[in-house]
Structure 1
Amino acid sequence: MAKYSEGFKLMLVKEYLEGKLGYRLLAQKYDMKDFTRILRWVKVYEKFGEKGLMRKKNKETYSVQFKLDVLSFMKRTGSSEADTALQFGLTNPSMIASWKKAFLEGGPEALDRPKGRPCMSDNNKNKNWREKTNFCV
């Protein structure tokens, strides 16, 4: 997935809002594979302004209860992931898809798992170092 700069996103949104080109033509003009990103950027811009198009500097963590509330709202209302994200002030609808997948596979407990790899214990670090250097103790 290509990362687009905030300036590029804002430029496309403003160009769309001028009304000269639609989503598909803008995507073609800027050699993008799909127009749905532009659609999402426009919706986020309309809801949150320029701030919504900016990348988050610190990765925010959400509580299990918040994730359950989001998934419950989506199921209850039949809203799409994009509409649900806008409703809850989230700028990344794909995050909701990953929460949904985790919930369906492992229940509410799966929503509480930390992201990333767990830290190696000191024992494992020493063991791996010994194995790599063929050092026997």
Structure 2
Amino acid sequence: MTKYSTKFKIKIVKEYWLGGMTLHDLMLKYSIPTAIIIRRWVKQADEHGLESLKVKYNKRTYPQSFKLDVVNYVNTNEVSQLQAAAHFGISASQVNSWCRIFQETGVTGLRDKPRGRPTHMVKSKNRKAIKRLKPTAEEKYKEEIMNLKAELHQAEMERDILKVLATIKKDQKNQRIPRKKR
């Protein structure tokens, strides 16, 4: 069961859109713990419409390619995880989880997990072995491409900063006031 119903979310978003009340006012009026929750609903409704606020009761699985697209979008577009979540119509916690997994384990960590009970049950929970997944050739290429895209984005940002700095220095040099001789 979810904490907030679809009708409740839509009511608050519409009230915010009508104006007259800030996020903080709505938070106090409806006893919501933080304004971030309302901001997330508003952003999601702005991006995907009020229908996106509908409570989803089924567990959704996403392919590895979609997860990589989301992580790549966050890394190369200078957007927050909340903005990426609104863009793709998924939860911000899911985006955060995928970004963390990608940083820790790379592309292999975003692989689809097998569902259901394992074929052989482990006798003791303490003997649970940690398996390191080995990336396939395709996953290695995908990870390398994502890393290269991130490096390219970083280099472009640095280049743009240097261009702006050079323009500022040039403008300052042209605007210097000559000193009067005594």
Shorter-normalised TM-score: what interval? 0.7 to 0.9
The amino acid across from 2:85 in the alignment is A
CA distance in 1 between partners of 2:27 and 2:103 (Å): 34
Partner of 1:135: none
Q: Report the CA distance between 1:38 and its aligned residue.
A: 0.5
- 1:52–1:91 contact (8 Å) kept in structure 2: no
Length, aligned pairs only: 123
Q: Which has the larger radius of gyration?
A: 2
Partner of 2:109: 110
Q: Report the CA distance between 1:115 and its aligned residue.
A: 7.7
The amino acid across from 1:37 in the alignment is I
**What TM-score results when the alignment is normalised by the length of structure 1?**
0.78
Q: Report the CA distance between 1:113 and its aligned residue.
A: 4.4
Deviation string 1:39-87 (CA, Å, 9 cap, x unpaired) is 1111111222221001223322211111111111111111011211222
CA distance in 1 between partners of 2:3 and 2:87 (Å): 24
- 2:64–2:112 contact (8 Å) kept in structure 1: no
CA distance in 2 between partners of 1:124 and 1:61 (Å): 24
Q: 1:61 to 1:26 in 2, by over 3 A?
A: same
Partner of 1:133: none
Q: 1:84 to 1:21 in 2, by over 3 A?
A: same
Partner of 1:29: 29
Partner of 1:87: 87
Q: CA RMSD in A?
A: 2.3
Runs of 4+ displaced beyond 6 Å: none
Partner of 1:58: 58
Identical-residue share of aligned pairs (%):
33
2:43 is the alignment partner of 1:43? yes
Deviation string 1:63-114 (CA, Å, 9 cap, x unpaired) is 11111111111111110112112222x2311110000111112111111142
The unaligned stretches of length 5 or more in structure 2 are: 125-182
Partner of 2:98: 99
**What TM-score results when the alignment is normalised by the length of structure 2?**
0.60
